[in-house]
Structure 1
Amino acid sequence: MRIDELYVLNPWWREPKSIYTDRYIVAFQHSVFKHYPEKLFLSIQKDKPGIYTIRGPRQIGKTTFLKMYIKNLLESGVKPTNLIFLTCDGIKDRFELGDMLTIYLQTYGSKSNQLNYILVDEVTVIKDWQLTMKYLADLGMFDKSVVILTGSSAYDLKHSSEKLPGRKGQGKDLVYMPITFNEYLENIGIRVEKLSLSDILSLTEDEINKLRLEYGFIKEHFFRYLSTGGFPRVIGEFLEKGTVQESINIYKDFVLGDAEKYIGSRTKVLEILRKLPEIVGQRFSWNSLVDIFSG
């Protein structure tokens, strides 16, 4: 990535209102199903330095979250150049990542008590990224910054962030999970009375039948929820098109792409997936699966 590309990734440095035309913001505003991850926003203390990691599955909305976070900061009066967004898809290695962050902080690092906000998307794409973050943290370059790192590799992000002990400040490790069924219902305007287990067990047969009658329509929504996995983008596609084929194709490409990246073969993973239905619910040997990879 070239230095001048930072201005392309961060157009609000030139024109703060450009955040409103960001494709992720526009897509969110036009989405049939909008989920605002309020708990995630509240988990980040924007007035205290810290290093946060956000891990979650692909297409859950991590990039959209970062863009919405930038929008909120700009609307709250944060100086545009105090914000930087980086996507690691275009960064060669951890050394280039370190150079980009160093140049930014040397150029726009706050000289007052104001904080800088450093948002790095898909950091797990870069091998040994934690070494760069540790190095910069040890130099004190993040002492006046809120750093947010996202990644789709849960194992990498969790275990790599553990190598930053004592350097996160007020930061923490966060998880961006698919929405719950209750959140799904609330989003489409359906409120369901909440009952504890003891309340349910104390209901009479007539009361149970009454609930079945009142909430019978919920079953249809539950099957829709199961079909979409609680992923806002997938839910939006289903509500708009009645199918999730586009999302299925996207995830298929992700899985096969990772297979090629980590084991060097898409074919072997497809063979595993074809074999799984045959062994579900049966005893099997891990060696039988290994044979597929070594065959």
Structure 2
Amino acid sequence: MNMSIFTDLVEDNPWWRDPSLIGRDMKIVDLDGSVVNWKPRIAQTFNFSKDLVYSLRGPRQVGKTTLVKIQIKQKLDEGISPHNIMYYAFDVDTSPRDLVNVIKTYLDNTERLRKGRRCYIFLDEVSAVKDWQRGIKRLWDQGRLENCTVVATGSNTIDIKMSSERLPGRRGSSNDTLDKIMLPMKFSEFVAAIGGDIKDLLERYDLTVSGMRHMHFKSILDLNLDLGIEYLRPHIPKLNRYLMYYLQTGGTPRVINEYLSSGLVKENTFKTYLDAILGDLQSLNKNQNTFRRLIRSIIKAVGNTSSWKSLQKNTDIGSSDTVASYVDTLQNMFILSVFYQYSTESKRGLFQKNKKIHFHDPFYFHVLNGWVGGDRPSFDIATSYLDDDTNQGTLVEGVVANHLIRLAFSISSKKQNFEYSDILYYWRYGKDKEVDFVYNDGDGTEVPIEVKFQNRITSRDLDGLINFKRNTGQRNAILLSKDKLSLENEYVAIPVSLFLLLV
């Protein structure tokens, strides 16, 4: 027996000594004491009754370890034997052989205590192990992972994705994707976490259930407003207030807790998230100075159409290919999303045309804008940015982009091969006129969506939607407003904050 490894295991799994000790775990303590007690919905998508190897990836500091500890606590609360649950946090400079030794040490030393029942193995920050998938492959081929469900987490999202793809046939069989992505909480989760009365309404009308949200969304696509949406009309002012909070904090629990507790976000918190981004880029051999110059250019262009060349021209970066490479990396890190121009003829994206870039989460925007935006505290820069109505609209459009991507993924029947660039686009017509989004699921749904986060809607604001309908023959269009909720002949108008609850 490797006593050093077993000693580490005992330290990482205090519930082996006493199941109640999970309640003293710092992640659980912090969660219980936080203003936002977030239980991520993604937790409901794991099947712990089969021999499966899940990967759980996502940005750093988003709460992956907390989710794992929540799952462990749930298992213990369900009466699962403590020795059937193993957690191990990996450090840098660990090899696939070390991973194999950790799991074998656990299995060998708890064999009698587990009594032949299923075990649950949580491998945290496994991306610290270079070629970690080789260790899993070896254990699977040796039959050591029979009657086990494995969850492997990592913050190096690109490594986790690529490594998982190198385990064909050695992860078990599931109708749902085994590659889980944990992102900052959506606006609906944010509202449910902080708005007690709104949370009760969401539960009353089943808006916390994805199937019901999808039903409401499809009714909007069919030019209908369900009664459940009408019941939320009196709450639009409060939802808009929550949306302004969300534009400041994004969906990351630590940031939300700080902001709601003290009215600000500490500079050290901005630095923590910036260091995480820069650290991941460094591990991917990306140059920090090049990245900083590019981010300045992207922030100026966000929400507008641009090309790799136009982004390059505003910097001294030598090649537009370098720009494309960095943006691709930032997409894989879930920091940026890129939308391509839609062709109403081919019903596909025009990849050689200009693109539109959005930030996935408002706080990532504030972190990077604070980094390049001068010497003032990052929170002051963020607050000043949001004082401008146009800037508010830019970030709102980014939030809508992120939520449409997540909606398209949740509805997709092909999650294993999901690409949002095959479903979501923007549309350009005339010399310089656009529609913010086109949603085309390839199955007959082709809907233009325009974001107008402003107090007054004019007929000119509808030009894009009307032109798209005339160009394609489609009957519906969606206008996302600030507070207008109505069913018109040509379109459905719904407040952004209410729409975000449904997606």
1:250 is aligned, of 272, 283, 295, to 272
Matched ranges for 1:1-295 at <5 A: 2-3=4-5, 4-37=7-40, 39-89=41-91, 92-109=94-111, 112-170=115-173, 172-187=178-193, 188-189=195-196, 190=198, 191=201, 196-197=219-220, 198-200=223-225, 214-245=235-266, 246-263=268-285, 265-277=287-299, 281=304, 282-285=306-309, 290-291=317-318
The offset of 1:156, in angstroms, is 2.2
TM-score normalized by the length of structure 2: 0.52
Deviations 1:239-294 (A, max 9, x none): 1122233432211111222233332753343333334345654445277675388x
Distance in 2, matches of 1:182 and 1:277, equals 26
The offset of 1:119, in angstroms, is 0.2
Distance in 1, matches of 2:234 and 2:38, equals 29
The offset of 1:26, in angstroms, is 0.1
Q: In the alignment, residue 157 of structure 2 is paired with which amino acid? A: A
TM-score normalized by the length of structure 1: 0.85
Q: In the alignment, residue 65 of structure 1 is paired with which amino acid? A: L
The offset of 1:135, in angstroms, is 0.9
Distance in 2, matches of 1:132 and 1:213, equals 55
* Worse-matched range after superposition: 53-62 or 161-170: 161-170
Question: Aligned to 1:237, what secondary structure does the other structure show?
Answer: helix
Check 1:113–1:45 CA distance in 2 against 1; reply closer, same or farther (3 A cut).
farther
Aligned residues of 2:92 and 2:128 also touching (Cα < 8 A)? no
In structure 1, the gaps of 5 or more residues are 202-207
In structure 2, the gaps of 5 or more residues are 208-215, 323-503
Distance in 2, matches of 1:215 and 1:113, equals 54
Aligned residues of 1:122 and 1:150 also touching (Cα < 8 A)? yes
Deviations 1:157-215 (A, max 9, x none): 223212222222256222222222222222222136776422349xxxxxx9x987652
CA RMSD of aligned residues (A): 3.1
Q: In the alignment, residue 129 of structure 1 is paired with which amino acid? A: W
Q: Percent same amino acid among aligned pairs?
A: 33
Aligned residues of 2:94 and 2:130 also touching (Cα < 8 A)? no
Distance in 2, matches of 1:90 and 1:5, equals 15
Q: In the alignment, residue 239 of structure 1 is paired with which amino acid? A: L
Question: Aligned to 1:243, what secondary structure does the other structure show?
Answer: coil
Aligned residues of 1:151 and 1:157 also touching (Cα < 8 A)? yes
Structure number with greater CO (CA < 8 Å, separation at least 6) is 1
Aligned residues of 1:257 and 1:266 also touching (Cα < 8 A)? no
Distance in 1, matches of 2:39 and 2:128, equals 26
Question: Aligned to 1:117, what secondary structure does the other structure show?
Answer: strand
Deviations 1:113-146 (A, max 9, x none): 3011110011122211111111111111101211
The offset of 1:88, in angstroms, is 1.5
Q: In the alignment, residue 248 of structure 2 is paired with which amino acid? A: S
Partner of 1:205: none
Distance in 2, matches of 1:90 and 1:10, equals 20
Distance in 2, matches of 1:249 and 1:174, equals 27
Give the number of the structure whose residues are more often strand, by fraction. 2
Distance in 1, matches of 2:191 and 2:132, equals 39
Partner of 1:204: none
Question: Aligned to 1:149, what secondary structure does the other structure show?
Answer: strand
